Amino acid sequence: VCWSGETRSDHARGRHTSPARHIRRVSPDQQTRVLMSFALSSAAAASVARVSSKATLRGRSLRAARSNATRPVRAMAVKAEVNQLKDGDKKGLVDSVETFIFDCDGVIWKGDSLIEGVPETIAMLREMGKRLIFVTNNSTKSRAGYLKKFLGLGLEITAEEVFSSSFAAAAYLESVNFPKDKKVYVVGETGILEELDGVGISYLGGEADGDKKVTLSPGQLMEHDPDVAAVIVGFDRNVNYYKIQYATLCIRENPGCQFIATNTDAVTHLTDAQEWAGNGSMVGAIKGSTKREPTVVGKPAPFMLDYIANKFDIRKDQICMVGDRLDTDILFGKDGGLRTLLVLSGVTDEATLKSPENEIHPDYYTSKLADLLTIKASVNA
């Protein structure tokens, strides 16, 4: 804009004249409008300059923040100490407890193969007067079935020393006085059925529904037994849509129907060649369809530990839990106030144990159960 009396050449060369010098050439109203316009233009220019300055500063701050974010962070978190079991620690650990609770899969065996040195370690601990208890989350066998497996692998174990999650499910129902006139629907295998027989509880489902299929037609309604007052979900190699739907109907439509999970393990050792999808996949399907959380009776839930401690009258601080999983075995021990020993012969490897993301830390860790045998060598030396 050229002021009155200002030539375009003056304006182009930047030789602007004062507005006051030329206001006399316009009317009073025009003078007011011109002054207000000039004031607003000056304020706007100043505001733009301030915003630009702030934006520049913010830009520098953001660039600095991004730069700092890429630099290694030091001393942001204290890494928990993870103690490897040394020869000097072993006898002290064994002497400090009277009972050892062992997980089975990944500690005693993998699949159907015994882990090296286990028979000798069990024999040594018995010679030292320790009570031994074997606990497994695998519900496919009953306690009698697991005893048969132990004996078949050459391990001298008694039925009283074996606790499975299939047994825990039946013991739980017995502990809450499950009505004898009600039934249980089972997603699972023979281990759960045998344990329910042992406490006189009626059931349906299980292996009998392994081959059943759902054939849909318009308006089809799937019937279910209204007398089912509990659904037990255990590991089931023949799980199918029929079983999932039947369990869902019982839990959602039968008033007060309990939802019980033997465990929620992500994986299991069906063979020693690889890991296989665990019971968590079966439980997850029914959690999703019912929007209900189950009562878990296996590790790391406290039910089995409380049952064992009461049965044998054992102080929990006199027990050492030995397992291969952080989120079941070691958490089971830590939550229960037990000493804990992680073995790396199963699910958990050393990298996972020492990962910054891991928040579950055993008292000690070692490569396998047989590492305890150096106690015997040192005593005999």
Residue 16 per-residue DSSP state: P
- Residue 232, SS3? strand
- Residue 202, SS3? strand
Q: Return the closest-CA partner of residue 264 out of 244, 249, 285, 247.
A: 285
- Please tell me the chain's helix, strand, coil percentages from 3-state DSSP, rounded to the nearest 5: 45, 15, 40
3-state secondary structure 166-196: HHHHHHHHHHCCCCCCCEEEEECCHHHHHHH
> Is 98 annotated in the active site?
yes
- At which residue do the structure tokens 């990962």 appear? 355
Single out the catalytic residue among 6, 98, 174, 194. Answer: 98
Residue ranges with strand state E in 177-318: 183-187, 202-205, 228-233, 258-261, 267-268, 276-277, 295-296
Quote the distance between the C-alpha of residue 267 and its chain's center: 12
Q: Return the closest-CA partner of residue 202 out of 180, 235, 187.
A: 180
Structure tokens at 170: 């039946």
Cβ(102)–Cβ(133) below 8 Å: yes
Cβ(202)–Cβ(183) below 8 Å: yes
Catalytic residues: 98
